[in-house]
């Protein structure tokens, strides 16, 4: 091999064609690439040397900032001592202790944890566990799954089936799992525009679940899956009482409740999980992203003990659940997770989120009078604004604001007509306010339609 096939950070961009990039307008990007060449703490370094504040903690996944020394050292140590360990019929001690630790962290010490490598895999795994659980208990007719409009549950076949984003679904209709219904989403501008935190209106939207139960009968329904706070579609915050109501209806009808906590898990709302923040106890919780600060891919499903027990019935020499991944419990991912949890504890980062959240709330709601802004939402250390689209050009305006923000030193997330901020937990109050201020200047820099 004479020529290295990687772009050296300082080398001119030779050819960007080979990587078919995910969720990216590839042609536009490759025409005007935005390359990141380094990251440290709450900042990325772009190829031209500029530093930008990481306003979305990676993709909601790096709350400790980038390359935190404790995590870096843990992964370095691990790769040199046990780089890989099969998880099928074998295992390494740190994966077991991590599972127990995550269960304790979630305040569900008797629960079990199934490891996967991403949020999408966590969702598909949770759906499979739900259906298999009912079958194991002799209720094999419980196969129907209830998702929700506007939901993002990753891109696996299960995840897009229960997901509620048309663009992610429409092409793949023939592949999707049958027997899925969707609850209505909970965003209603007439009743909740500019709510701070949880909207007071909307708990009754959970009653739609009763209608689906009446239509299909509970004996055919396996599970309901929701993001307790919808992240990807723009920080859609659950109305007060809504999740409690879903829980109550599920319990009454023997339906499992799954919280997809890929974004909300590990501190984003100032509590270990959204389940803790809202005081609602789902039967299964999916997680990924922040569990190990995204240093190495890792996800998982937290499973109530009673569900696990339902599988442990046949002869002991038989596999109880025909599911798993080559990299389930990967040593590097596990080492990074232990170190991340160590850091969260020693630096008291959940408290840090609770301190920063009101700073973000105050600052973001001050954008209310900016000309294009049509709604502002926030919860924990997450916030989003909606803007008026350019007529006939959906999404373009948000993209332009994203670009202007980057010029002003802020990386913000844009999707549809929404811009989202979810700063790293290690941000200072000044950095949090400065991020919102950069967003304000970006909004003003893009002309009104």
Its sign, for the CA torsion 36, 78, 341, 72, is negative
The answer to whether 260 contacts ligand PXG (rule: CB under 6 A) is yes
Q: Answer yes or no whether residue 414 interacts with ligand PXG by CB under 6 A.
A: no
Please select the residue that binds ligand PXG; options are 7, 39, 47, 59, rule is CB under 6 A: 59
Scanning residues 108 to 127, which ones bind ligand PXG (CB under 6 A)?
Answer: 118-120, 123
User: At closest approach, how far in Å is the CB of 319 from ligand PXG?
Assistant: 25
Applying CB under 6 A, which of residues 154, 199, 239, 267 lies at the interface with ligand PXG? 154
Write down the least CB distance from residue 316 to ligand PXG, Å. Answer: 33
Strands 36-40 and 221-226: unpaired
Size of the site for ligand PXG (CB under 6 A): 17
Count of residues making up the chain: 449
Nearer to ligand PXG, 123 or 136 (CB): 123
Binders of ligand PXG among 364-393, rule CB under 6 A?
none
Residue 223 C-beta: closest distance to ligand PXG, Å: 15
Nearer to ligand PXG, 285 or 288 (CB): 288
Shortest reach from residue 62's CB to ligand PXG, in Å? 12
Where in 218-257 is the site for ligand PXG (CB under 6 A)?
227, 231-232
Element (H, E) at 410: strand 410-411
CB of 56 to ligand PXG, least distance (A): 6
Long-range contacts of residues 211-220, Cβ cutoff 8 Å, at least 24 apart: 212/146, 212/181, 212/183, 213/249, 213/253, 213/255, 216/144, 216/181, 218/142, 218/253, 218/254, 218/255, 219/139, 219/141, 219/142, 220/141, 220/142, 220/143, 220/144, 220/179
* Own/partner long-range contacts of 86-95 (Cβ < 8 Å, ≥24 apart): 87/115, 87/324, 87/325, 87/326, 87/327, 87/328, 87/329, 88/324, 91/329, 92/329, 92/331, 92/334, 94/331, 94/334, 94/335, 94/338, 95/329, 95/331, 95/334
Nearer to ligand PXG, 262 or 335 (CB): 262
To ligand PXG, the closest distance from the beta carbon of 54 in angstroms equals: 13
Contact footprint for ligand PXG (CB under 6 A)? 59-60, 118-120, 123, 152-154, 227, 231-232, 260, 262-263, 288, 413
């Amino acid at each position: 091999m004479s020529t290295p096939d990687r772009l050296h950070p300082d080398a001119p961009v030779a050819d960007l064609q080979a990587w078919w990039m995910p969720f990216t307008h590839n042609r536009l990007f490759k025409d005007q690439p935005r390359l990141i060449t380094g990251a440290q703490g709450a900042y990325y370094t772009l190829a031209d040397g500029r530093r930008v504040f990481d306003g979305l903690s990676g993709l909601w996944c790096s709350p400790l900032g980038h390359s935190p020394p404790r995590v870096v050292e843990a992964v370095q140590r691990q790769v040199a001592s046990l780089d890989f360990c099969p998880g099928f019929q074998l295992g390494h001690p740190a994966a077991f202790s991590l599972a127990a630790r995550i269960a304790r962290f979630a305040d569900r010490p008797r629960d079990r944890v199934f490891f996967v490598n991403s949020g999408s895999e966590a969702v598909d795994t949770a759906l499979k566990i739900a259906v298999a659980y009912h079958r194991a208990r002799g209720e094999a007719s419980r196969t129907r799954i209830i998702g929700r409009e506007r939901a993002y549950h990753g891109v696996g076949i299960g995840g897009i089936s229960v997901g509620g984003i048309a663009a992610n679904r429409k092409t793949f209709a023939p592949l999707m799992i049958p027997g899925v219904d969707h609850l209505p989403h909970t965003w209603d501008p007439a009743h909740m525009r500019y709510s701070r935190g949880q909207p007071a209106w909307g708990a009754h939207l959970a009653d739609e679940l009763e209608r689906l139960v009446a239509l299909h009968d509970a004996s055919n329904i396996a599970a309901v899956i929701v993001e307790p706070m919808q992240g990807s579609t723009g920080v859609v915050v659950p109305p007060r009482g809504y999740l409690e109501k879903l829980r109550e209806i599920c319990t009454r009808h023997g339906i499992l409740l799954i919280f997809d906590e890929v974004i909300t898990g590990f501190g984003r709302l100032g509590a270990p999980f959204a389940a803790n923040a809202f005081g609602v106890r789902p039967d299964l919780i999916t997680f990924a992203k922040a569990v190990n600060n995204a240093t190495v891919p890792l996800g998982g499903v937290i499973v109530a003990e009673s569900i696990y027990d339902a599988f442990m019935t046949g002869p002991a020499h038989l596999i109880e659940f025909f599911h798993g991944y080559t990299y389930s419990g990967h040593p590097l991912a596990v080492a990074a997770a232990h170190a991340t949890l160590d850091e969260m504890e020693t630096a008291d980062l959940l408290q840090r989120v609770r301190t920063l959240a009101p700073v973000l709330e105050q600052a973001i709601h001050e954008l209310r009078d900016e000309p294009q802004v049509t709604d502002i939402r926030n919860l924990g250390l997450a916030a989003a604004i909606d803007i008026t689209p350019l007529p006939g050009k959906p999404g373009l305006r948000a993209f332009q604001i994203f670009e202007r923000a980057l010029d002003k030193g802020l990386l913000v997330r844009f999707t549809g007509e929404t811009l989202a901020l979810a700063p790293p937990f290690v941000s200072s109050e000044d950095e949090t306010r400065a991020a919102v201020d950069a967003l304000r200047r970006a909004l003003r820099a893009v002309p009104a339609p």
